[in-house]
Amino acid sequence: MAHADTHDHHDHDHKPAGIGRWLFATNHKDIGTMYLLWALFMFFLGGAMALGIRLELFKPGMQWFDPGFYNSLVTNHALIMIFGAVMPAWVGLANWMIPLQVGAPDMALPRMNNYSFWILPFAFTLLLSSFFTAGGAPAGGWTLYPPLSLQAGDSFPLTIFAIHMMGISSIMGAINVIVTIMNMRAPGMTLLKLPLFCWTWLITAYLLIAVMPVLAGAVTMLLTDHYFGTSFFNPAGGGDPVMFQHIFWFFGHPEVYILILPAFGIVSEIIPAFSRKPLFGYDAMVYATASIAFLSFIVWAHHMFTVGMPLAGQTFFMMSTMLIAIPTGVKVFNWTATMWKGSLSFEPPMLFALAFLFLFTIGGFSGLMLAIAPADFQYQDTYFVVAHFHYVLVPGAVFGIMAGVYYWLPKWTGHMYNMTLAKWHFWVSTISVNVLFFPQHFLGLAGMPRRIPDYSTQFTDWNMVSSVGGFVFGFSQLLFVVLIWQCARGGAKATDKVWDGMMTGLEWTVASPAPYHSFTEAPDLTGVADSHH
Amino acid sequence: MLNRKMLSALGGLLAALPAFAYESSYNMTQGVTDISREVHGLHMTVFWVCVAIAVAVFGVMIYSIITFRKSKGAVADQTMLHSTKVEIIWTVIPVLILVFLAVPAAKTLVRMEDTRNADISIKITGYQWKWGYEYLGTGVSFYSTLASTSNEARQLHSGIDPNSVKDYLLEVDHPVVVPVDAKVRLLLTGNDVIHSWWVPDFAVKKDAIPGFINEAWFKAEKIGHYTGQCTELCGRDHGFMPIAVDVVSQEDYAKWLAAQQEAVKAAAAPAATTAANTAASASATL
């Protein structure tokens, strides 16, 4: 940074002692840590369910599970990965990094911050306890389409209330992000000087506030249909099961951008850092993110091309969906142009960012294919869709999270981590994730529907390949845990700047580990030029 | 120079196209209807457009990763912040590509939605977990469930090797029979939850939703046996309610239909004459 603020004030890190530090936590770093550890735990739990799925699908015939239990695995894998792993991981990263990046001492609303985290363990206890109820855990898919979801047994109210609680948690997290970014930026940090991670999170937070209440409304209507005799979605009472899908996907499509936009932000910081060159087209990146967020509200019915919409509706949703390719393309081109004529090095965060760049783009291509409505009739609800959204969610969102963790972990712990182990984690993950998901494109095109526990024998070969990839990917994540554990316990001392790259954020101006209370005096950026204009 | 390389790479990939297009273990089937071939054509067009973009974009990325390495002494150009000209170009070109893709897609969509002038109409009802078929105006109707051989083999720990079962999970007790070269209109609904009727060779996938009647159509051009599966999660046995369609000659269809109608009459005959009406209306309400 051009300004000479060295922050050498002596931090008196009065950390509360014992379990109270965590139960009553109001420190953004402590809460961020809890969110991230929670996300890691859920990642393994949801991953274990995914391994159950891949185990059953290793070969044709039913070897392990009852088909109903298989459906529960599919449903809970999705709910846990989306609401338990990816979203809390983003909130954890936001907690840790947004105050550090905007030069604030903490998040704006620390007590609400505590509340929004501590709701989560209760929400997931409710959800998971449904495995022990009569009728088993929810098995109608995470999309909860009625009338099927209404056939659930005692798990039904547990699922609905769990989703309500997750939604409350997300909304409070989002409010905190918005208030912090809007009100607590250091003097002179104009909006167009914000690091892109803050920008993408700001837009994500608005999406969350806009759509989580929509989901809450949809599931509440399910609840009253089930218990109070309403007929929102029951055709026998004059209701409309397709209306649920419209409401659900009005939430659901912005939701998928909630999962991916913060990854765009992280990649937009890591690629310039290790290309030693400012981000190409900073303003275009901000506007592209905002355009994607806007478009996410007008494309929802592309998830429903087969429900029998009028021709005009199908055409509209096909065209609006195709439009998303434009701002997304701008982003990919900008990242590529940032590397062009740069000076690249390949530390673990950069490796994950590059894998994101290639593999997310592959998910984007299959997304463009899925937008073509007549072709979508052949892709809809097949493994082609499964391959598509896992490409954007695993080497997309999850690799984005991992890139962020590898980027900032030394700043959090004060220690460098084991680079060799990190590179092993990267290469094994990147190769196995492709072995896992690429063949699923073939399975879908060849005609294998999704959400089936058993399949016709011509699909055997690619399923075996996919399962092998799945097990290698799943177990290779243990390397990540070992690495984090080691880095938390010790290692080479990290410098304030950590990396030999071009990092411009305020987080690199404080000590490593970041002091428990950072920026008690705001750094003044008035008149300081940013690197990207 | 880079462009020429990219073009030759694309040419090589395009040369592999025929092999790609006809093999069905890793690509979409071309199917046996006009529409299914059009859909396959759209699929391959957008696929190759994606491949071309991928070659260009990944090419630049890989070139950058190889060339602009710090370890090779590359020095970053700190002045490259943005370029309005370049940004306009890489916004406009995608727009043109999208228009190129959207126009034929919209045309196909219009044709797919045109269910007029059908030769026969079949009402399809999704049940947990089987399909009901009713040939409108003929009195013929039946249920179609998973073949017993598959059903035995698919039980948990059945000990039966699925590879030893003919058309495992794709065979049914009563296939749908339709005449070749006839426009068959489908009216789809669900009895309990939402199902979805899919036969890839006809490029027809339409949801069967309680309280709704959806329409779809196909005109198969080749006599044969075609299969598909339910493609909307519908509960425990979602994976076990396949679809099988026999496309037969016009004459064979007429014979089959007559035999089915005879069977309906025969079933009604032993009962009293008053019961005949009940039987007919019972089958009509199926």
- Residues in chain B within 8 Å Cβ distance of A370: none
Which residues of A have a catalytic role annotated? 77, 106, 142, 169-170, 253, 255, 257, 268, 302-303, 328, 331, 450
What fold is seen in the domain B2-112?
Helix Hairpins (1.10.287)
CB A526, CB A188: distance < 8 Å:
yes
- Residues in chain B within 8 Å Cβ distance of A67: 236-240
Cis amide prior to A462 (ω within 30 degrees): no
CB contact under 8 A, B101 and A332: no
What tokens appear for A332 in the block?
């990919």
User: Which amino acid is located at A55 in the chain?
Assistant: L
**Closest approach of chain B CAs to the CA of A339, in angstroms?**
6
User: Which amino acid is located at A253 in the chain?
Assistant: H
Cα distance between residue A146 and residue A144, in whole Å: 6
Cis amide prior to A147 (ω within 30 degrees): yes
CB contact under 8 A, B157 and A62: yes
Could you report the predicted ipTM of this complex, rounded to two decimals? 0.91
- Residues in chain A within 8 Å Cβ distance of B229: 447, 449, 452
- What are B244's strand-pairing partners? B227
Which of B58, B87, B234 lies at the smallest CB-CB distance from A284?
B87
Look at domain B120-284 and name its CATH class: mainly beta
Which of B27, B76, B95 lies at the smallest CB-CB distance from A276?
B76
Cα distance between residue A251 and residue A463, in whole Å: 32
3-state secondary structure of B79: coil
> What architecture does CATH give domain A25-509?
Up-down Bundle (1.20)
**Closest approach of chain A CAs to the CA of B224, in angstroms?**
18
CB contact under 8 A, A449 and B108: no
Residue from B2, B27, B28, B199 whose CB has the most chain A CBs within 10 Å, to mutate:
B28
CB contact under 8 A, B58 and A358: yes
CB B206, CB A373: distance < 8 Å:
no
**Domain range list for chain B:** 2-112, 120-284
CB contact under 8 A, B210 and A319: no
CB contact under 8 A, A372 and B42: yes
CB contact under 8 A, B87 and A281: yes
CB contact under 8 A, B233 and A446: no
Cα distance between residue B99 and residue B217, in whole Å: 27
| Residue A337 burial (C-beta neighbours within 10 Å; 0-12, 13-18, 19+) | buried
pLDDT tens-place values along chain A, 533 residues long: 444 444 444 445 678 888 999 999 999 999 999 999 999 999 999 999 999 999 999 999 999 999 999 999 999 999 999 999 999 999 999 999 999 999 999 999 999 999 999 999 999 999 999 999 988 999 999 999 999 999 998 999 999 999 999 999 999 999 999 999 999 999 999 999 999 999 999 999 999 999 999 999 999 999 999 999 999 999 999 999 999 999 999 999 999 999 999 999 999 999 999 999 999 999 999 999 999 999 999 999 999 999 999 999 999 999 999 999 999 999 999 999 999 999 999 999 999 999 999 999 999 999 999 999 999 999 999 999 999 999 999 999 999 999 999 999 999 999 999 999 999 999 999 999 999 999 999 999 999 999 999 999 999 999 999 999 999 999 999 999 999 999 999 999 999 999 999 998 999 999 999 999 989 888 888 877 777 77
φ, ψ of residue A26 to 5 degrees: the values are: -125, 0
Q: Is the pLDDT of residue B11 over 50?
A: no
User: Which amino acid is located at A439 in the chain?
Assistant: P
- Residues in chain A within 8 Å Cβ distance of B29: 447
- Residues in chain A within 8 Å Cβ distance of B75: 343
Cα distance between residue B55 and residue A358, in whole Å: 11
Residue from A279, A451, A456, A502 whose CB has the most chain B CBs within 10 Å, to mutate:
A456
CB B244, CB B176: distance < 8 Å:
yes
